[in-house]
């Protein structure tokens, strides 16, 4: 009987670890979703001409920042796919809802941003003097 309990102990421990990881994943997703919805409301208060400081005060630190290629940039891919103005992106870093895809990779909950913001991101574009030029809110 004692050996049966000893054999179940590692299985119970593994199950506890898996449940803990699932709970953390779900909590992270819920907090990320809540943050994204709150950002949408606050982003509607931004208008052209606002400063970077004002945007930072309203929305906080961006999820990602993209800068246009420098004048001497020779990487064709960066020039073609990159942004034209400094752009701050606000959005989810983890998205379970849209993670099931019909193409490879079939399950991808992590949002990657390589050359510019994701299509679901709130985008704030700035001119050379650090003033807002354009605010893009998905769904609006």
- Ranges of each domain in the chain: 2-136
Query: What average pLDDT score do residues 18-28 get?
Result: 88
Strand partners, 124: 88, 135
List pLDDT tens digits, range 77-98.
Answer: 655 666 788 999 988 766 555 5
Closest CA to 110 of 95, 98, 121, 122: 95
Give this prediction's pTM: 0.61
Angle between helices 2-43 and 52-59 (to 10 degrees): 140
């Amino acid at each position: 009987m004692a050996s049966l309990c000893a054999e179940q102990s590692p299985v119970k421990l593994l199950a506890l670890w898996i449940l803990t990881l699932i709970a953390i994943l779900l909590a992270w997703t819920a907090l990320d979703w809540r943050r994204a919805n709150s950002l949408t409301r606050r982003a509607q208060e931004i208008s052209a001409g606002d400063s970077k400081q004002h945007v930072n005060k309203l929305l906080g630190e961006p999820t990602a920042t993209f800068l246009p290629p420098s004048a001497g940039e020779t990487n064709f891919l960066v020039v073609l796919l990159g942004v034209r103005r400094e752009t701050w992106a606000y959005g989810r870093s983890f998205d379970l809802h849209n993670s099931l895809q019909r193409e490879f990779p079939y399950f991808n909950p992590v949002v990657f941003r390589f050359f510019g913001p994701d299509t679901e991101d709130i985008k704030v574009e700035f001119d050379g003097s650090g003033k807002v030029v354009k605010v893009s809110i998905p769904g609006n």
